[in-house]
C-alpha cells in the first residue's frame, strides 16, 4: 500500500519534451512509474523514451486512462495546465513550478478543494512511493537516501529532504512515501491534509516532518495530533533555526508574520502535542528509535 501513487497509477507528464521533463520522465519510467503519455502543445506524434506525446491533456486522456499528472512547465503556464488537467477529470496533480503568482495559487487551491482533487506544490520536488513509483525529482538511485521502509516523510524543503531521508536510512529504517508540499507561501496542499493519508496507510509506522520557519503548517499538525486526527509517532525537524531575527529570507515560504511562524513557536506547539523534535538531522534516527522501540 502507498499513499497517493503506486506502480499501477497511470501517469501523464506535461512538458515532457523539455529538458527537465524528458530527463525525469526517463528516470521515473526506469524506477517503475507507469507513465502512459506526455503532453506538449505542437509536439503530438513524437515519443520520449517510448512514451507517446499529445497536443493536449484531453487528447491524451481520450487514449489512456490517466490518473495523475506531473507538471514540468514554467510558472506562467502552471495555472492553465492545472485547470486543463482538472477539466479532464484527473484528480492527482504534482506541480514543480516555483514562483506561481499568489492570487493564482489561491484560485487553484479553491478550485481543487471544490473538486476533491489533490494538487501538490507549487515549488515541489514531487512525491515518491519508495521502491514503487515517483512523480518528480528524486535521486532514487542513491540507496543511502531512498530505501523502501515504513517511515512517511512530508517536507517543505527540497534541499533538506535528501539529508533527512539519508538519516532515516542510516538509522536502519526506510521511507514508505515522501511528499514534498513545496516551499511557496500558499501551497496547494498543506501538511495537515496529508496526515490522514499516512494515518490510514498500513505500511507507515511513523512520520517525519521537515518544516521551516514561516507560515503555520507545523502548528496545524500539532493541533491535528492533539485532536486525535493523527495518532502515529511524529518526528519534526525545523529548517531556519539560525536565521537572524528581523531578517527577510529568500525562501518564498519562509516569512514570519504577526509574531507567528518562528522555529520556537513550532517546536513549542509540536512538543506540547507529544511530537518529538530534532535539533539537527543527525538526531532523527535516535528519535525514531525512541518513538518506535521505546
Q: CB of 213 within 8 A of CB of 256?
A: yes
The total of other beta-carbon atoms located within 10 Å of residue 1's CB is: 12
Cα 169 to Cα 145: distance, rounded to the nearest angstrom: 6
Q: CB of 169 within 8 A of CB of 199?
A: no
Question: Helices in the chain by DSSP H: which ranges?
Answer: 19-31, 57-63, 75-87, 102-114, 158-170, 191-200, 217-226, 263-273, 284-293
DSSP type of residue 130 = T
Among residues 179, 170, 173, which one has the least CA distance to residue 210? 179
Cα 6 to Cα 10: distance, rounded to the nearest angstrom: 9
Name the pairing type of β-strands 276-278 and 234-239: parallel
Q: Which residues contact 19 (CB under 8 A, 6 or more apart)?
A: none
Among residues 129, 113, 117, which one has the least CA distance to residue 90? 117
Does 251 qualify as catalytic in the annotation? Answer: yes
CA dihedral 172, 132, 125, 147 (to 10 degrees): 10
Options 27, 55, 64, 251, the catalytic residue: 251
Cα 191 to Cα 43: distance, rounded to the nearest angstrom: 36
Q: CB of 154 within 8 A of CB of 127?
A: no
Among residues 88, 86, 122, which one has the least CA distance to residue 104? 122
Phi, psi at 15, each rounded to 5°:
90, 30
Which residues have a catalytic role annotated?
A: 251
Amino acid at each position: 500500500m502507498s499513499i497517493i501513487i503506486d506502480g499501477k497509477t497511470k501517469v501523464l507528464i506535461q512538458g515532457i519534451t523539455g529538458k527537465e521533463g524528458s530527463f525525469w520522465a526517463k528516470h521515473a519510467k526506469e524506477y517503475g512509474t507507469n507513465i502512459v503519455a506526455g503532453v506538449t502543445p505542437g509536439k503530438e506524434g513524437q515519443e520520449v523514451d517510448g512514451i507517446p506525446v499529445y497536443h493536449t491533456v484531453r487528447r491524451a486522456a481520450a487514449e489512456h486512462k490517466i490518473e495523475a499528472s506531473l507538471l514540468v512547465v514554467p510558472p506562467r503556464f502552471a495555472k492553465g495546465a492545472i485547470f486543463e488537467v482538472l477539466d479532464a477529470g484527473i484528480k492527482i496533480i504534482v506541480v514543480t513550478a516555483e514562483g506561481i503568482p499568489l492570487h493564482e495559487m489561491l484560485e487553484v487551491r479553491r478550485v481543487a478543494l471544490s473538486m476533491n482533487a489533490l494538487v501538490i506544490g507549487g515549488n515541489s520536488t514531487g512525491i515518491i512511493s519508495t521502491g514503487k513509483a515517483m512523480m518528480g525529482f528524486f535521486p532514487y538511485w542513491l540507496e543511502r537516501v531512498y530505501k523502501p521502509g515504513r517511515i512517511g516523510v512530508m517536507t517543505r524543503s527540497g534541499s533538506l529532504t535528501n539529508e533527512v531521508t539519508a538519516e532515516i536510512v542510516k538509522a536502519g529504517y526506510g521511507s514508505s512515501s515522501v511528499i514534498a508540499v513545496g516551499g511557496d507561501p500558499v501551497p496547494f496542499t498543506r501538511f495537515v491534509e496529508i496526515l490522514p493519508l499516512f494515518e490510514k496507510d498500513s505500511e507507515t509506522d511513523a512520520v517525519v516532518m521537515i518544516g521551516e520557519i514561516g507560515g503555520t503548517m507545523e502548528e496545524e499538525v500539532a493541533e491535528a495530533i492533539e485532536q486525535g486526527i493523527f495518532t502515529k509517532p511524529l518526528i519534526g525537524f525545523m529548517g531556519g533555526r539560525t536565521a537572524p531575527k528581523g531578517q527577510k529570507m529568500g525562501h518564498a515560504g519562509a516569512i514570519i508574520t504577526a509574531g507567528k511562524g518562528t522555529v520556537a513557536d513550532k517546536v513549542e506547539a509540536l512538543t506540547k502535542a507529544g511530537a518529538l523534535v530534532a535539533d539537527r538531522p543527525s538526531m532523527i534516527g535516535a528519535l525514531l528509535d525512541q518513538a518506535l522501540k521505546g
